[in-house]
Amino acid sequence: MSKKRVVCTASIDDEAVEILSQQLTCELLPDTSVETLMNALDDTVAIVCRGEGKVPAEIIDAATDLRVIGRPGAGYDSVDVEAATRRAIPVVLAPVGGFAVAEGAVAMLLTLIKNLPQADEWVKTGQWSQRYCTPCGDLTGHTLGIVGFGRIGQHLARLVQPFDLRTVAYDTQVPADAMAELGVEKVDLETLLAQSDYVSLHVPLLAETKGLITAARLAQMKRGAILINTSRGGVVESLDVIAAALSSGQLGGVGFDVFPDEPPDHKHPLFRHERCLCAPHYIGLSTLAWSRICCTMAAGMNAVLRGEKPEFCINPQVL
């Protein structure tokens, strides 16, 4: 009889593979398609859903031996959690790499504020005098708005504390006194958009946050504000509304690490704008963060297989 296995829709850290291999044969699938995953369900008791891979209800219903699903990171919109819960299958997470996402948000923000891509080009193309024509901005003395004040939003608040700036946040689940402990003022979303020079998105993709940033909400922002999104691409209504806001000058810059469709259509007009800074859902994959994420997920999956409680689980009611 063949050994039970865990299949991975994309590669994970070698140490995590070793952890999972204590109990199972670990297999990397050749691509991230649902069809490929469907054809690999025999003897599969665990699935690692990574990258562009998805675990929809049809997979969960067909995987008769499935006992646990792992997601390396904090997001879980690629897994049908409702279907997993119906079958009492835990969905294990690893929300331990938020520090890297917060660092990336700061990096994107400062890169745009300081015009670094353009300044780099000026030097390399002999346009030294452009420094007299283009203002260089500041984080100091301005207002940063954090939309979503969970682990990552809170880490971002800590990172910007040394700057002399005002920080406001919107989160319906976090009380004002908890924000105040980090020097952050709790406001509603409309106030945040109207008063912030820089807005950074850190909400999960849920029914209530899908399409949260619409054309109407972009119009509520300060003219020339900078928008950073390192959360989930679907939090923004579409790339079209972002491109339109950039072209009109309503947005002064955008830094996106995530997109409504991944990978996005690289021919979209948004990507031709010099004030659009992008990364391929990448900034949270620092060496340290990736190791911690994968190993935490693997340990949690192993715990489920042993009949124990994992550290992080999106549907703990099934345990």
One DSSP character per residue, 182-201 reads: TT-EE--HHHHHHH-SEEEE
- Rounded-to-integer distance, Cα 43 and Cα 46, Å: 9
Q: What is the pLDDT of residue 73?
A: 87
Is 281 catalytic? The answer is yes
Superfamily of domain 5-96+287-318: NAD(P)-binding Rossmann-like Domain (3.40.50.720)
CA angle 26–30–32, rounded 5-degree value = 95
Q: What is the pLDDT of residue 51?
A: 84
pLDDT tens for the 319 residues of the chain, in order: 357 999 999 999 999 999 999 989 999 999 999 999 999 999 999 999 998 899 999 999 999 999 999 999 888 989 999 999 999 999 999 999 999 999 999 999 999 999 999 999 999 999 999 999 999 999 999 999 999 999 999 999 999 999 999 999 999 999 999 999 999 999 999 999 999 999 999 999 999 999 999 999 999 999 999 999 999 999 999 999 999 999 999 999 999 999 999 999 999 999 999 999 999 999 999 999 999 999 999 999 999 999 999 999 999 999 9
CA angle 200–273–163, rounded 5-degree value = 30
b/e map 244-281, b = 16+ CB within 10 Å = bbbeeebbbbbbbbbbbeeebeeebebeeeebbbbbeb
Is 185 catalytic? The answer is no
Instruction: Give me the catalytic one of 262, 272, 306, 308.
Output: 262
Is 262 catalytic? The answer is yes
Can you name the CATH fold of 98-278?
Rossmann fold (3.40.50)
Instruction: Give me the catalytic one of 5, 50, 232, 292.
Output: 232
Domain range summary for the chain, segments of one domain joined by + = 5-96+287-318, 98-278
pLDDT tens-digit readout, 132-141 = 999 999 999 9
Starting at the edge strand found earlier in the chain, the sheet holding 251-256 runs 185-186, 166-170, 143-147, 198-201, 225-229, 251-256, 276-278
Instruction: Give me the catalytic one of 50, 71, 281, 292.
Output: 281
Q: What is the pLDDT of residue 2?
A: 54
pLDDT tens-digit readout, 268-296 = 999 999 999 999 999 999 999 999 999 99
